[in-house]
Amino acid sequence: MPFNAAQWQKSLAADSLQPVYLLAGEELLVLEAADALRAQARRLGYAEREVLDVGNHFDWDDLARAAAGMSLFASRRLLDLRLPTGRPGTEGAKAINEFCANPPPDVSLLITATEWSSKHEGAWTKNLDAAGALVVFNAPRPNEWAGWIGARLTSRGLAATPDAAALLAERVEGNLLAAAQEIDKLVVLHGQGKIDLKEMEDLVADSARYDAFKLTDAAFAGEGGRALRILAGLHAEGDELIALMGWLVNQLQLALRLANARDFAAQARAERLWPAREQLFRKALRRAPREHWLQCLARAARIDRMAKGREQGNPWLEAERLIAAIAEPRAASALS
């Protein structure tokens, strides 16, 4: 059976690693869990780590070669297999099954997947669970948010009154990354101790505020409704569309460079994208071909001219249509 949260935490204190791990689910939680496992591996003498990025043209024989390889520098090795989609396909499932059936000594395989649901499960996940550990990290449900925030504060030496935790949960709009960032800021600003409602109001920036960064992130994440609400908020607050379009054009150009790249992972590294943003664009580019992003970029340039008075039209209305098309390519007819 998959590990629950308590079992996972207990496993991080063990004096040995499982032959294989699958950490899947909510991206922030998966990345943090993987970091914790890598730290444990280093403590246990796994001095060498080999990263395998599963892209469109990944050769699954590389997994077997890496598992069988000898190291000149370390007796223990960690294989770090990045499987963003959580779908290894027929060849990948076979390669993982073969590893699980006969794991090499002093080698541990870590698989991370930042897309996950019950539909991803199959014979390969059952074999993996039997040979090692499967841990699924789900985002808190709406009624669990305040409790999750309270537990995360506690893990960092802080505590919050129930109404203070509820306020923070409201401010971050269910955004795990925003919650984590705000809690990290609280550690710096407040230090250890307990935070009440008044202190929370004074210390925490309004992470639910409308800004251009959240607008583009929501659009590229496919969250059309949220992106349009943010755009409406920007309009209502009197923000300049010209500045917004400059950032949006920048992000569409980035999407196009990634779409044109022969090696997405290499291009993402060249762009210095954080893992969370790399996954954001990876998912967005799966929703539409290169031509769609070219069309979006052309429309953005036209909206910019409208906002500067160089072309006729309603730039805010056109911006709504563009945001809808970025979030949901099937709405691309709105660009016509």
- The helix (run of H) or strand (run of E) holding residue 109 is strand 107-113
Question: What is the average pLDDT across 239-247?
Answer: 84
Extract long-range pairs of 259-264: CB within 8 Å, 24+ residues apart: 259/285, 259/289, 259/290, 259/293, 260/290, 263/55, 264/55, 264/56
Same domain, 166 and 241: no
Q: DSSP letters of 184-245?
A: HHHHHHH-SEEE-HHHHHHHS--TTS--HHHHHHHHHTT-HHHHHHHHHHHHHTT--HHHHH
Check: CB of residue 58 under 8 Å from CB of residue 164: no
| 291 has a pLDDT exceeding 60 | yes
Residue 227, CB-side half-sphere exposure with 13 Å CA sphere:
22
Q: How confident is the model at residue 332 (pLDDT cuts 50, 70, 90)?
A: low
Question: What is the average pLDDT across 299-326?
Answer: 92
Position 43 scores a pLDDT of: 94
3-state helix, strand, coil in the chain (%, to 5): 60, 10, 30
Q: 185, 204, 223 — which closes off a domain?
A: 204
Q: What is the CATH number of the domain that holds 253?
A: 1.20.272.10
Position 182 scores a pLDDT of: 84
Same domain, 14 and 126: yes
Convert the pLDDT of each residue in 199-223 to its tens digit.
888 887 654 555 777 889 889 999 9
* CA dihedral of 187, 190, 191, 195, whole degrees rounded to 10: -90
Token readout for 277 is: 């943003």
Closest CA to 110 of 87, 78, 135, 137: 78
Chain-centre distance for alpha carbon 2: 21
Q: 137, 161, 193 — which closes off a domain?
A: 137
CA distance 124 to 294: 39
Same domain, 190 and 251: no
Q: 204, 228, 248 — which closes off a domain?
A: 204
Q: Tell whether pTM > 0.75.
A: no
CA distance 100 to 128: 6
Average confidence score pLDDT of the chain: 88
Q: What percent of the chain has pLDDT over 90?
A: 50
Same domain, 221 and 194: no
Same domain, 131 and 12: yes
Position 28 scores a pLDDT of: 87
Convert the pLDDT of each residue in 151-190 to its tens digit.
899 988 999 999 999 888 887 767 788 788 888 888 878 8
Q: How confident is the model at residue 7 (pLDDT cuts 50, 70, 90)?
A: confident
Domain with 190, as residue range(s), is 144-204
SS (H, E, C) 130-175: HHCEEEEECCCCHHHHHHHHHHHHHHCCEEECHHHHHHHHHHCCCC
Convert the pLDDT of each residue in 52-86 to its tens digit.
999 888 999 999 999 987 665 657 899 999 999 99
Position 254 scores a pLDDT of: 93
- Total domains in the chain come to 3
Q: How confident is the model at residue 335 (pLDDT cuts 50, 70, 90)?
A: very low
Convert the pLDDT of each residue in 9-30 to its tens digit.
888 989 999 999 999 998 889 9
Same domain, 171 and 229: no
Same domain, 197 and 298: no
At 67, the amino acid letter reads A
Place of tokens 């500045």: 243
The three-point CA angle 82-87-93 to 5° equals 90
Position 266 scores a pLDDT of: 87
Same domain, 228 and 105: no
Instruction: Give Cβ neighbours of residue 332 (< 8 Å, ≥ 6 apart).
Output: 288, 292, 295, 325
SS3 of residue 274 by DSSP: coil
Token readout for 296 is: 């979006």
Closest CA to 147 of 134, 132, 160, 158: 160
Same domain, 10 and 121: yes
Convert the pLDDT of each residue in 97-132 to its tens digit.
999 999 998 999 999 999 898 889 999 999 999 999
Same domain, 9 and 127: yes
Q: What are phi and psi of 78, to 5 degrees?
A: -115, 125
Q: What is the CATH number of the domain that holds 158?
A: 1.10.8.60
Token readout for 155 is: 């893990």
Q: Which residues of 42-61 are buried (b: 16+ CB within 10 A; e: fewer)?
A: eeeebebebebbbeeebebe
Instruction: Give Cβ neighbours of residue 172 (< 8 Å, ≥ 6 apart).
Output: 178, 179, 182, 207, 208
Q: What is the CATH number of the domain that holds 80?
A: 3.40.50.300
Same domain, 53 and 40: yes
Same domain, 89 and 155: no
